Amino acid sequence: MNVNVTFPDGSIREYPQGVPVIEVIKSISRGLAKSALAAKLNDRVVDLDAKINEDVSFSALTFDDEQGQRVLRHSSSHILAQAVQRLFPGTKLGIGPAIQDGFYYDFDSEHTFTPEDLAAIEKEMNKITKEAYQYQREVLSRTEALKLFNDNGENYKVELINGLPEDAEISLYRQGEFVDLCAGPHVSDTGKIKAVKLLSLAGAYWRGSEKNKMLQRIYGTSFPKKSLLDEHLMRIEEAKKRDHRKLGTELELFEIMEDGPGFPFFLPKGMVIRNELENFWREEHAKWGYQEIKSPIILNRSLWERSGHWDHYKENMYYTRIDEQDFAVKPMNCPGGMLVYKNKLHSYRELPIRYGELGLVHRHELSGALHGLMRVRCFTQDDAHIFMLPSQIKDEIKNVIDMVDAFYKLFGFEYHVELSTRPEKAMGSLEVWEIATDALRQALTEKGMEFKINEGDGAFYGPKIDFHLRDCLGRTWQCGTIQLDFQMPEKFDLTYIGEDGQKHRPVMIHRVIFGSIERFIGILTEHYAGAFPLWLAPIQARVCPITDKQADYAVKLTEKLVQAGIRAEADLRNEKIGYKIREGQTQKVPFMLVVGDKEIAQDSVSVRELGVGDLGAKPVAQVISDLQQEIKLKKS
């Protein structure tokens, strides 16, 4: 009996039933068989020795595929655990998943791991990879699995097994003397992993709960080639130089203070960047037909019960009591936007109505999750809520996609798109969710956009499109989102008067572009390494007299620049000009304007551009005109 295997190009081949995945790959290409790490049968990722027993769609996974990377790195976490148990017998195992760009494993050990231990563990891992142990999968009954891990003293694995559904398949993987509870899949053998690097240590509560024991977490990364590891480590070093927390302090943009953990303080220079982004946001939204609103930060509990946040988001909210009633600090702006819409009666002729809001929200985050501007407890969302007729859904989604694209292109960002579907905990019927999801899918398809499906990752009230920016280091950041919502208009009894004179229910879109002003500033700081484009730079030009003799001229020139709408300052310190220029470069000032006797005589300045160098002497009027033009065009 044969099975039909459909390949990504649409071609179909017949194979004997029970054929191993690796044999199918060999029949395509011996070269592909060498680089393959796993395979995808329909939507399931499997080991290379998995058998094909039915008709399937088939694709081989290499390290070029994100899922292939995860398989290799999850396999690496098992090697880490094996090395740790060899060097530190009696260590108990927590979990060891693949993560973005790497993996980790959590350990319960009487030994406290040190950075010096990482080198020894890494050396042992390299021995294990050279030994090329096969990853062997076994399926056990619940009784067999519990006995095995109880006998091995692995109480965390026993807890995981007991938490599985009664009908769950329980599998483990062996490599050499090591065994671990695992659903897989894995690479064929440890020799597939040619380069490993352990990166850091951290503490982590078992299963993420502060009520449980603190385990020791070891982070690492791995690659199928050493050259790829070297490139990755170089990117990590570059990322450290670009760390927005470091640059935020050095460039005097923002601070996180002990008095407000997770609540950033923006300093004067940081406020310049923030205000420029907000001004740009307002200008663009006016062009795209939005009206700006502002909703209160604190609202009554009954509102959050009506919106569903009280049931679905309560643990992330802050609360207070006013006049013996419960209130909540808003974690999202949407209920306020709906109250604004409901404040008056609307006709179908008014729709779509687009409300935009730069709304400050607060969300409870665990202290260990806080990270500069990237993960905070209060932030400003550049929200918008669009109320429309059902017939306008597709056009409005396309309109938002175009707007997002225009925003991101301005900053030089490439991006990819993901469509997230109904989560397990969601409001509304399956039918309504299917209609909403299909509308988003059709809009993306008609725009000719490639997108990835994220099953079960939608908001609790509707499916969403997420935009993931790619920065200059190749890292991705989820910023923009479009969420289609049939639920909230129902919960808030939102209506419009239709052509028939009757009340009808509008459809609603939630969307952000920056995502969070604070986080977007953090991303921009790292993307530009603190060297912001001229229109965003806190100080756009610094005038530097060569000696005190030119100080008066420098002051007058600075005043002229400021009057022309250019953020300028004069460096009048009694320092050598070389020192002033070097410091200006360190502080990422885009233009240094040097003034000496010759420049005064010619009503000119010597221009130095950050990252370019000396541009020579230019007339003052031309310099002002050039700077004004570059600021106006918002060049990145």
Residues catalogued as catalytic: 334, 363, 381, 383, 385, 464, 510
How many residues does the structure list for the chain? Answer: 636
Angstrom distance (rounded) from CA 130 to CA 635: 51
CB under 8 Å to 333, separation ≥6 — which residues? 295, 357, 359, 361, 381, 383, 385
Residue type present at position 17: Q
Bridge partner list, 175: 178
Number of separate helices (H) and strands (E) present in the chain: 20, 35
Rg (CA), the chain: 29
340 CA to centre of own chain? 31
Angstrom distance (rounded) from CA 543 to CA 593: 5
Angstrom distance (rounded) from CA 603 to CA 453: 61
Angstrom distance (rounded) from CA 172 to CA 184: 8
Task: Determine the Cα angle at 514 with ends 508 and 515, to 5°.
Answer: 60
Bridge partner list, 478: 468
Residue ranges of the alpha helices (H) in 261-348? 268-287, 301-307, 309-312, 334-342
The DSSP line for 50-95 is -EE-S-EEEEEE-TTSHHHHHHHHHHHHHHHHHHHHHHSTTPEE--
The DSSP line for 189-211 is BGGG--EEEEEEEEEEEGGG-TT
- Sheet of 298-300, strand order: 298-300, 325-329, 318-322
Do the Cβ atoms of 23 and 36 come closer than 8 Å? no
Do the Cβ atoms of 353 and 386 come closer than 8 Å? yes
Q: Where are the beta strands (DSSP E) in 571-612?
A: 591-595, 604-609
Q: How far is CA 409 from CA 219, 402, 412, 471, 607, in A?
A: 34, 11, 5, 12, 28
Tell me 367's DSSP state.
G
Query: 586: how many CB neighbours lie within 10 A of its CB?
Result: 11
Phi, psi of 498, deg, nearest 5: -80, 180
Residue 107 host element (H or E) = strand 102-108
CB under 8 Å to 540, separation ≥6 — which residues? 534, 566, 567, 568, 589, 590, 591, 627, 631
CB under 8 Å to 502, separation ≥6 — which residues? none
Nearest CA-CA partner of 362 in 327, 316, 294, 313? 316
Residue type present at position 81: A
Q: How far is CA 416 from CA 69, 213, 463, in A?
A: 18, 39, 17
Do the Cβ atoms of 220 and 129 come closer than 8 Å? no
Task: Determine the Cα angle at 263 with ends 259 and 265, to 5°.
Answer: 85
Six token digits for residue 415: 């991006």
